[in-house]
Amino acid sequence: MTKLYIVIPCYNEDETLDYTTEKLSEKLEQLISEKRISADSKIYYIDDGSKDKTWDKIESFHSSNKFVNGIKLSKNRGHQNALLAGLLHIKDDCDCCISIDADLQDDINTIDKMLAEFENGCEIVYGIRNDRKSDTFLKRSTAQLYYKILSFFGADIIYNHADFRLMSSNALNALDGFKEVNLFLRGIVPLLGFKTGTVEYARNERLYGKTKYNLKKMFALAIDGITSFSIKPIRMITAVGLIALLISLGMLIYSFVQWALGNTTRGWTSIVWSIWSVGGLELLAIGIIGEYISKIYLETKSRPRFIIEKTLEENKTDRQIQ
């Protein structure tokens, strides 16, 4: 039977944890009684350096509730890192895990459907929001703009999917092969490959506590998403440099003609042409340096070059990451 772990990053969530623990425990009980998951399935709370009573709560749940385990990070490292800490900590202990936010805005009844996809052989199942009614206008429009910008810059992310997803132990081990420091999970998980599935759900309002994503954190996540996946901004500099250089050629001809016709003041021709050509050359040079830097950047990530899903041979483990 499937051993399911639910991984939940928590930052100053003491107001919501009673509700969350109650609802998730009920869910696990239901799935256990339906014989869909094993009785040693767990809820893992990752305390992301909270300043309130979050960790005290997790400790008390751990002693009173057989499902609850906890991990405490030494300081606040942000949602993505907290989630990653949890995922990598449990990667070999469960058959699959589901990551979800502490406020349970994502509908936990979707877990049943995710498990069904897992039973059908999917190693990754994405939860996709099919409406954004519960979001403010600002959040909705910035989120949509963000998905558009990311796909323009070439990151392969799933539209309207946040971090509510199921991953098998196989997929988690493949994720472990990505050693980059600025990790943007939503962009990395689609790179893993494997058989994937999606389930749709409607997202609820946050019932307890306030959002922990202030504008600064949202902005940092957005910038991380772009700069972790794309060297397009550097290519754009090169392109602008080339265009400026082309204009400088045009300006050379134009100013030369003006000079020949006697329409110019002394010195104008050389100044105009130098401004355009030096500017263009500088941008182009920055772009070329950028190309080399982007190679270094891609190398230093040392992402796995491939991930083996299965092999057919004797006496070897199923999974290898190179």
Question: Which of the listed partners (ligand UDP, Mg ion, none) does 82 bind, with a CB threshold of 5 to 8 Å by partner kind?
Answer: ligand UDP
Per-residue x/- track, 11-30, ligand UDP (CB under 6 A)? x-x-----------------
Contact partner, 102, from Mg ion, ligand UDP, none, Cβ < 5-8 Å per class: ligand UDP
Report the run of H or E that residue 183 belongs to, with start and end.
none
Write the burial class of residue 321 (CB in 10 Å: 0-12 exposed, 13-18 middle, 19+ buried).
middle
**Partner touching 36 among Mg ion, ligand UDP, none, CB below 5 to 8 Å by kind:** none
Size of the site for ligand UDP (CB under 6 A): 16
Find the shortest distance in angstroms from Cβ 10 to Mg ion. 11
Reduced to 3 DSSP states, what percent helix, strand and coil does the chain have, rounded to the nearest 5?
50, 15, 40
| Chosen residue from 6, 42, 78, 241 binding ligand UDP by CB under 6 A | 78
Q: How far is CA 304 from CA 90, 145, 175, 192, in A?
A: 21, 30, 9, 10
Question: Choosing among Mg ion, ligand UDP, none, which partner's interface includes residue 123 (Cβ < 5 to 8 Å by kind)?
Answer: none
- The interface region with Mg ion, picked from 78-86, 102-110, 163-171, 273-281 by CB under 5 A, is 102-110
User: For 37, which DSSP code?
Assistant: B
Q: Which of 47, 101, 123, 163 binds Mg ion (CB under 5 A)?
A: 101
Give the nearer residue to ligand UDP in terms of CB position, either 146 or 254: 146
Nearest Cα residue to 274 out of 248, 312, 295, 238 = 248
Between CA 213 and CA 219, with CA 218 as vertex, the angle to 5 degrees is: 150
The half-sphere exposure of 272 on its side-chain side, counting CA atoms within 13 A, is: 18
Write out the H or E segment, with its range, that includes residue 54. Answer: helix 54-64
Q: Which residue has the tokens 């830097």?
A: 293
Which residue stretch of 4-12, 58-66, 177-185, 275-283 sits at the interface with ligand UDP (rule: CB under 6 A)? Answer: 4-12
Task: Report the residue from 102, 124, 237, 251 that binds ligand UDP according to the rule CB under 6 A.
Answer: 102
Helix 215-227, helix 79-90: angle, nearest 10: 60
Does 105 interact with Mg ion (rule: CB under 5 A)?
yes
Q: Which does 280 bind (CB under 5 to 8 A by kind): Mg ion, ligand UDP, none?
A: none
Return the amino acid letter for 201. Y
Candidate residues 14, 15, 48, 117; the one interacting with ligand UDP per rule CB under 6 A: 48
Q: How far is the CB of 42 from ligand UDP (least distance, A)?
A: 17
- Catalog residues that contact ligand UDP under the rule CB under 6 A: 9-11, 13, 48, 76, 78-79, 82, 101-103, 105, 211-213
